Structure 1
Amino acid sequence: MPALVLGTASIRADVRRAPHLLIWAVLAGCLWAVANTLTIFAIRDIGLSIAFPLWNSNSLLGIFWGFLFFNELRQAGWRRWTGVLGGALVMCFGAALLAVASSTQATAGHSPRGVWAALGAGVLWGTMYIPYRKAYLTGMNPLSFVTFFTFGELGMMAALAVSYTGLAPLWRELQSARGVIFWLMLGGFIWVIGDVFQQYAAKYVGISRGIPLSNSNQLWGLLWGIFVFGELHGRGVSIYMQVVGGSLLMMLGVGAIAFSSATGKEQTRWKEAAQREGRRYGVAADYVEARMEGRQLAGESRPGRSAWDWLLVGGATSIFVVFATMARVPQMSFRWGPVVLLTPSGEPRASTESAIHL
């Protein structure tokens, strides 16, 4: 996707200006991979509808890191502080309701492990946003960041898979799962589209607000878990009340934080943090300022796409086509009616081409 939308020449230009950000991008990818692995165990032990909101507690950690390292919420005023802190407290209460409900929903003996796995994923995902914000304060394009993020993500996932199962058993599992690999790849492709939008949110509104806003996807997890996959089927009314009530409380907290937009004084403190990062890594101040404002430097030319870019796009597309020819429809028990209602009718698009390039 970065090769298609941005071009490898633009990515190389970003790297030349701020080579230190490569390490941060790879580190963020590694953190994501470990967190994602924890979510697998959480879903297995306590189910999607409960695990999803629990690991989205990363919002709380994102608020803390944003304040501590990047001057977010500094001089924001008492109304913004009330919205953010009040929203955080509401989210904590909602998460507590979900944790209580998990002891009834999960397989006996595994609910505490599932809760800790989901919360651990939230901690890692919340910390993962520190590299995000460092990169964007010093002017790196989100698509460039995602490119090197992917190297860390794939490398760590490969290491985890080999260490957990062994190389030979892993290869045998992949061979036996050829019929479903396409669906896994398709899910990853959809995730990348959503992640790109999340990257731009972290760039333009900060992690203390961007993370809670992106975590509105927890409601979709709840709806898919309950209505499509039948989680909580046959449970008592009290369990439904706890799960739905806890999720809605967390959503109310997200809303309170989202409406606490940054004031002019707070944005001035953001610029101070950006200038500090620029001085630390030797990035030109005018370049940092231009990227924070979503514009290019005067006289800066935008690199074009090369034959290498189209070769990458064609190669990636060919891989999808090959696995699509081997794909078979998985045998799963779910309800088609809710699937149709919950599936978006079209792909999200960026508002302007200039936003993508900046």
Structure 2
Amino acid sequence: MQASRLRSLQALGVFCGFAAGAWLGGAEAPIKMVNTGMSPITVSLIMVAGVFLARWSIPAFIRGTSYVRNDVRQAPHLIIWAVLAGCMWAVANTMTIYAIRAVGLSIAFPLWNTNSLLGIFWGFLLFNELHQAGWKRWLGVLGGAAAMCGGATLLAFASSTQASPGKAALGVIAALGAGILWGTMYIPYRKAYLTGMNPLYFITFFTLGELATMTVLSLSYRGAVPLWHEIVGARTVLFWLMLGGFVWVIGDLFQQYAAKYVGISRGVPLSNTNQLWGLLWGILVFHELQGGSQRVYAEVIGGSILMALGAVAIALSSATSREHSRWQDAAEREGKRYGIADGYVRASMEGREFEGGLSRRSFVDWLLVGGVTAIFVAVAAMARLPRFDLNLTWAAAVSAAMLFLLGGCGIALWRTTRFS
């Protein structure tokens, strides 16, 4: 790969990481508005329903679903990895809901974002990331990791002042548990993208694991009849929960592209800037920490800034050409293991199509997009704005910033890779 092309893809990956942070952070805002006493399991199930709809309709809208067959034909083994990753995501997402209710959005976010530490570990151990990176890159990664741990510690201390001791402890445990699951979930991500699968289509199989896991958990925990009654009774908030899932998918898609082009040891910390977006939503829009002491504010803001600086230090330690050659070694190893064509693997790493150009969307694609749109319109018609102390001015400002990143990053992805 030419050096200029490598720099372009790395810059694109960094941009995707920041866009992912904005949308992953914003995804929890609609969920925060739902405070009806619903079980976290049910909340997660409804959110995953929105995720499922988004993970099939967004790829259909962007490129069409015909490419799913092409990826499956080239790398059928990745279906299992995608479903497994989806199962892990579903459990982790449920744990985050417990964490948000126990310690709040602005505190829970940075705690589960310790998943980046596991991402660094797995990237180095399994996929040759940071191999032959040089001492400056290592210093950036390790120093950033230490800063993120320090920030998480500050936020854990702050959480004890926002809830009863028992509740705070459970919230911290739930958030850290989600971080462990999400950190390990990046193994299937990286394996898929090293061997050529397009992020748009990886997530379509990913969501099968999500929905299946949440359905089993919900039926086991609640029972079919009580679960149905709870969902029907919460019909006025279904839209907000499903919207949270839809927004999450946009952020996760950007995170997938970041993981593909800059690796999980850098892409995950970049996307973990969602902690700052969570802080913005929590404090500016939802008035979290209102009435707290100066010490609490110092711990939360200082901890978040420290974690963000650590993430930036890791992200700026971009891969050198020598390190990237080790990524190629890992890709060749994975390709040989599963019998994947060398040209398919190389094309994916270079952000280009393996064969042929873009195909036209089919009637099925537009039917899928139209059906999902109709479902969201239907649940929106039943929705009611919860009685919540919101600052609508700040909500509009933060939302506008998210849309700006969505447009800018989407255009950059199209121009550079055609969403490959």
- Counterpart code for 1:17: Q
State how far apart, in whole Å, the 2-side matches of 1:44 and 1:194 are: 22
State how far apart, in whole Å, the 2-side matches of 1:184 and 1:197 are: 21
State how far apart, in whole Å, the 2-side matches of 1:328 and 1:6 are: 34
1:333 and 2:389 aligned: yes
> Which of 245, 253, 267 matches 2:302?
245
Q: Deviations over 1:165-224 (max 9, x none)?
A: 221111011101111111222222221111111110010000000000001111011121
- Counterpart code for 1:40: I
State how far apart, in whole Å, the 2-side matches of 1:300 and 1:223 are: 44
TM-score (norm 2): 0.83
Is the Cα–Cα contact under 8 Å of residues 155 and 300 in structure 2 kept in the other structure? yes
Q: CA deviation at 1:130?
A: 0.5
Q: 1:202-281 counterparts in 2 under 5 A?
A: 202-281=259-338
Is the Cα–Cα contact under 8 Å of residues 63 and 358 in structure 2 kept in the other structure? no
1:198 and 2:255 aligned: yes
Is the Cα–Cα contact under 8 Å of residues 10 and 302 in structure 1 kept in the other structure? no
- The residue number in structure 1 matching 2:148 is 91
Q: Indicate how the Cα distance of structure 1 residues 352 and 35 shifts in structure 2: closer, same or farther if over 3 A, else same.
A: closer
> Which of 372, 375, 393 matches 1:316?
372
1:300 and 2:356 aligned: yes
Q: CA deviation at 1:352?
A: 4.1
1:189 and 2:246 aligned: yes
State how far apart, in whole Å, the 1-side matches of 2:396 and 2:388 are: 16
Is the Cα–Cα contact under 8 Å of residues 130 and 138 in structure 2 kept in the other structure? yes
Q: CA deviation at 1:303?
A: 3.5
1:104 is paired with a residue of what secondary structure?
coil
State how far apart, in whole Å, the 1-side matches of 2:167 and 2:376 are: 37
Q: CA deviation at 1:100?
A: 1.2
Q: More displaced, 336-345 or 5-14?
A: 336-345
1:63 is paired with a residue of what secondary structure?
helix
- Counterpart code for 1:339: A
Is the Cα–Cα contact under 8 Å of residues 413 and 419 in structure 2 kept in the other structure? no
Is the Cα–Cα contact under 8 Å of residues 28 and 149 in structure 1 kept in the other structure? yes
Q: CA deviation at 1:158?
A: 1.6
Q: Following superposition, which runs of at least 4 residues in structure 1 exceed 6 angstroms of deviation? A: none
Q: CA deviation at 1:105?
A: 1.5
State how far apart, in whole Å, the 1-side matches of 2:278 and 2:299 are: 16
- Counterpart code for 2:323: E
Q: CA deviation at 1:335?
A: 2.1
- Counterpart code for 1:187: G
State how far apart, in whole Å, the 2-side matches of 1:311 and 1:319 are: 12
Is the Cα–Cα contact under 8 Å of residues 158 and 299 in structure 2 kept in the other structure? yes
- The residue number in structure 1 matching 2:107 is 50
Q: Deviations over 1:39-82 (max 9, x none)?
A: 11111111111111000000100000000000000000000000
- The residue number in structure 2 matching 1:291 is 348
- The residue number in structure 2 matching 1:353 is 414
**How many pairs does the alignment contain?**
357
Gaps of 5+ in 1: none
- The residue number in structure 2 matching 1:133 is 190
Q: More displaced, 65-74 or 106-115?
A: 106-115
Q: More displaced, 327-336 or 54-63?
A: 327-336
Q: Deviations over 1:238-286 (max 9, x none)?
A: 1111111111100110110011000010000000000000001110111
Is the Cα–Cα contact under 8 Å of residues 58 and 123 in structure 1 kept in the other structure? yes
Identity percentage of aligned residues? 64
State how far apart, in whole Å, the 1-side matches of 2:264 and 2:94 are: 23
Gaps of 5+ in 2: 1-57
State how far apart, in whole Å, the 1-side matches of 2:385 and 2:159 are: 31
- The residue number in structure 2 matching 1:343 is 399
State how far apart, in whole Å, the 2-side matches of 1:301 and 1:224 are: 41
2:177 is paired with a residue of what secondary structure?
helix
State how far apart, in whole Å, the 1-side matches of 2:365 and 2:303 are: 46
1:155 and 2:212 aligned: yes
- The residue number in structure 1 matching 2:76 is 19
TM-score (norm 1): 0.97
Q: CA deviation at 1:123?
A: 0.5
2:160 is paired with a residue of what secondary structure?
helix
